[in-house]
Structure 1
């Protein structure tokens, strides 16, 4: 019986060069059950098949969209019943935030080797629980979309600009992210919009159940259940349960941005009061705007007046942490 089930999406950008190595590695290790999908619509059937082999670990090998679709289907599909295997994510996306949170960095094949090593022994010390973010439009109809990181306001506009204008240049991901960050900061702070820069953020209304409401133009809006982010920084209050979802909002001002950046570098973000920087934890967050984009694990949604995006945490599911 295979100890590890590996779900790969050959169409994800990272797999264009990685997948031949993955296939060769799996051919040499018979205790890996490798299932490839051509489209995210096939993930439900893939998980149904994978559930039959009862793996000890489910590994996701794909971009942000593949990870999000797999988590959504894993939670709603019920393919594994009450025995959902811990999930591991290979570092194979543009930002890799979920993989980073679980200690998966560097070469994806080395990460896969680490998964196999853990799966061959007692996995309990490596299993961690994480809630997912459930996103709906507030109506009773429709299937919630699940993820672990949502960006809005100027952050969402910068992510979209990077996706459409910088990634096509073929630059290394780290370089592309730095360029997008610099241009995004300029677009947020200049008094008028400039054509070649990311869009300036529109007005948003953000409310946290029992914690009040914020309104205005924000440089950054972020909601996450992750504990680690880029640059190996940690979210304030990581590991607490005063509210599963962490909300970070930074107002559109140079003082607020610099203050938040300095505090984050010093590891004090959330520990000291900063003007224009708002941190909350909660179990229901509503985002309302005028055709304002938000991005949940790579997929774009739109917050509108009178029809807010509603975020709630799910029950926790098990993940496999690769770091010691």
Structure 2
């Protein structure tokens, strides 16, 4: 079971906006809100369907077919003074909007409405969005002041910091191979939490029962360091699995970062020893071992970290090239949530 992952050949550089954003409805309570919607027609649940248009809001729908269109769309939204920015697509669409909008909105983003139409929708799971969540529900909750706060995870080229991408879930090593497997799960009809479960179980089975030279047991050349350049999570030059995220809740109640919830979190497994792999199901539900470093596990909550990797890494479902990167938190975002 393998599948293709879309791959970026380089990190994008965001374009500066023309004016600072200020909401049209500021200081005018009760006015019908203006919603700027970025719609991805290629997202799984958008194919063959029209955009939502609830009576409770004035909606400007911009259907984008290429990432390079997003900067112009978001700049127009800023000039029009939207009250809410809706993203009608999957996790990858959210990533592209945050990346393209970073130079336009800076630290002052409009409240975000996520309409999860992708195949996995990890951000929607984090926010606790129900299966029937739509724009009308979001407007209703926004009027009631129901918001969650998150910060994006930013990956910047260490040698060219202007090249950067914003997302929420970064993975490398085994995670990259498992993401290819996840594409196959989608083709078999597994989506959202079910896709996560199928992929996790298949990956774990491959890793536990494969031979030492099998691809599922292979580590990836990777170095981790803090802001001062000092190694973190040990001094290994190869790692089996790396996860980093600013999400707080994960599908099926999994707890890959142990008890840590807020902010930037990092989880690392050094080697694919069966003794360590057999502990993964317990760790996934929050039962961390008493001697994690002996088993090669590391959990950290760094303010930022640097990683140099010789293979692709995954950010919100798509692959990015090998390189030397800084990882840190982006601006505070307000997201409409139940």
Does TM-score exceed 0.5, indicating one fold? yes
**Counterpart check, 1:277 vs 2:292:** no
**Counterpart check, 1:61 vs 2:126:** no
Structure with more helix by fraction: 1
Unaligned runs of 5+ in 2: 1-31
In structure 1, the partner of 2:160 is 140
- Contact kept, 8 Å, 1:86 with 1:317, in 2: the verdict is no
- Contact kept, 8 Å, 2:147 with 2:337, in 1: the verdict is no
- Contact kept, 8 Å, 1:233 with 1:264, in 2: the verdict is yes
Shift of 1:149: 0.8
| Deviation sequence 1:204-225 (CA, Å, 0-9, x none) | 3223446624425544310011
In structure 1, the partner of 2:3 is none
**Counterpart check, 1:117 vs 2:140:** yes
- Contact kept, 8 Å, 1:248 with 1:278, in 2: the verdict is yes
Shift of 1:26: 0.5
Among 304, 308, 316, the residue aligned to 2:324: 308
**3-state SS of 1:42 partner:** helix
Give the number of the structure with larger relative contact order, counting CA–CA contacts within 8 Å between residues 6 or more apart: 2
Hey, which bits of structure 1, 4+ residues long, moved more than 6 A? none
Query: Please, what is the CA RMSD of the aligned residues?
Result: 2.8
In structure 1, the partner of 2:117 is 92
In structure 1, the partner of 2:236 is 215
Instruction: Please list, as runs of the form range in 1=range in 2, the aligned pairs for 1:155-170 lying within 5 A after superposition.
Output: 155-163=175-183, 165-170=184-189
**3-state SS of 1:11 partner:** coil
Aligned residues: 298
- TM-score normalised by L of structure 1: 0.80
Shift of 1:178: 3.6
**Counterpart check, 1:203 vs 2:228:** no
In structure 2, the partner of 1:245 is 264
- Contact kept, 8 Å, 2:150 with 2:335, in 1: the verdict is no
1:54/1:83 CA distance change after superposition, 3 Å: farther
1:182/1:119 CA distance change after superposition, 3 Å: closer
Shift of 1:69: 0.9
Among 274, 288, 303, the residue aligned to 1:254: 274
**3-state SS of 2:312 partner:** strand
Unaligned runs of 5+ in 1: none
1:83/1:172 CA distance change after superposition, 3 Å: closer
In structure 2, the partner of 1:37 is 64
1:222/1:29 CA distance change after superposition, 3 Å: same
In structure 1, the partner of 2:250 is 229
**Counterpart check, 1:149 vs 2:169:** yes
- Contact kept, 8 Å, 1:202 with 1:217, in 2: the verdict is yes
In structure 2, the partner of 1:322 is 337
1:285/1:30 CA distance change after superposition, 3 Å: closer
- TM-score normalised by L of structure 2: 0.77
1:175/1:317 CA distance change after superposition, 3 Å: closer
- Contact kept, 8 Å, 1:156 with 1:295, in 2: the verdict is yes
1:114/1:273 CA distance change after superposition, 3 Å: farther
